[in-house]
Amino acid sequence: MADLLAHVLVAYALMTALSWRIERIKPRWTAVVMGGAVIPDLVKIQLLLKAHVVEETVGIPFDYAAVSTLGGVLLIAGVISIAFQRRYWRRAYGCLVVGGIMSLVVNGLRAFADSHSTAWLYPLTWWRPPTPSLYVTSDYRVTALVVAVAALVTAIGMSVLDRFRPRREG
């Protein structure tokens, strides 16, 4: 689960830093992007609910692998976005997709034995892009680094940048 935390914190740090320059990025939408970063990790539901149980219940072939792909992110983000008010559907969908893509990109940097990432670009292609093998998900130093970066971004946002923002009345 350390990679799940890392994905959420990467989304938080990037969106918070972007919000310093782009005024349209509000904290509530940063939270939605963070939620989108969880979408590819929904594949871990298979630990609790096996695919064959879903197949028997629904009556069609089912595999969790598609959840951790671009197509899975696009589909699940669409389903989640309808939980928002209708006027926010587009923005919510966009934020969820951005978070999911961030997570897929971070996953694409992991170390794999054959030096190729998973086919996370499905349904566009089954090609498995090469990976730079930057980290292993079980390495606690990755989580520690991401937590430290997120804490630094929070500290900078709270102390330095708040001094320069004009106070709004009302």
**Per-residue pLDDT band at 124 (split at 50, 70, 90):** confident
| Rounded percentage of the chain residues whose pLDDT exceeds 90 | 54
Q: What is the mean pLDDT of residues 107-126?
A: 86
Indicate whether 106 pLDDT > 60.
yes
Q: Is residue 36 part of a domain?
A: yes
Torsion of CA 103, 104, 108, 111, to 10 degrees: 60
Confidence (pLDDT) at 135: 86
- Is residue 40 included in any domain, yes or no? yes
Residue that the structure tokens 């106070």 belong to? 167
| Assigned domain for 80 exists | yes
| Among 5, 76, 83, CA closest to 40 | 76
Range of the domain at 153: 2-164
Task: Let me know if residue 170 belongs to a domain.
Answer: no
- How many structural domains compose the chain? 1
Residues 61-104 pLDDT 10s: 888 888 899 999 999 999 999 999 999 999 999 999 999 999 99
Quote helix, strand, coil % in the chain, to nearest 5: 65, 0, 35
Sequence-distant (6+) residues with CB within 8 A of 65 are: 43
What is residue 159's predicted lDDT score, i.e. its pLDDT? 78
pLDDT of 170 > 50? The answer is no
- State residue 76's pLDDT score: 96
pLDDT of residue 87: 96
In this structure, of 30-39, 77-86, 102-111, the range with the lowest mean pLDDT score is: 102-111
In a domain, 110, yes or no: yes
Phi/psi of residue 135, nearest 5 degrees: -155, 165
Q: Is the pLDDT of residue 7 over 50?
A: yes
Is 169 a domain residue?
A: no
Quote the pLDDT of residue 134.
Answer: 86
What's the pLDDT at 66? 87
Question: Is 169 a residue whose pLDDT tops 60?
Answer: no
Is the overall model pTM greater than 0.85, yes or no? yes
Choose the most confident range, by mean pLDDT, from 5-14, 63-72, 134-143: 5-14
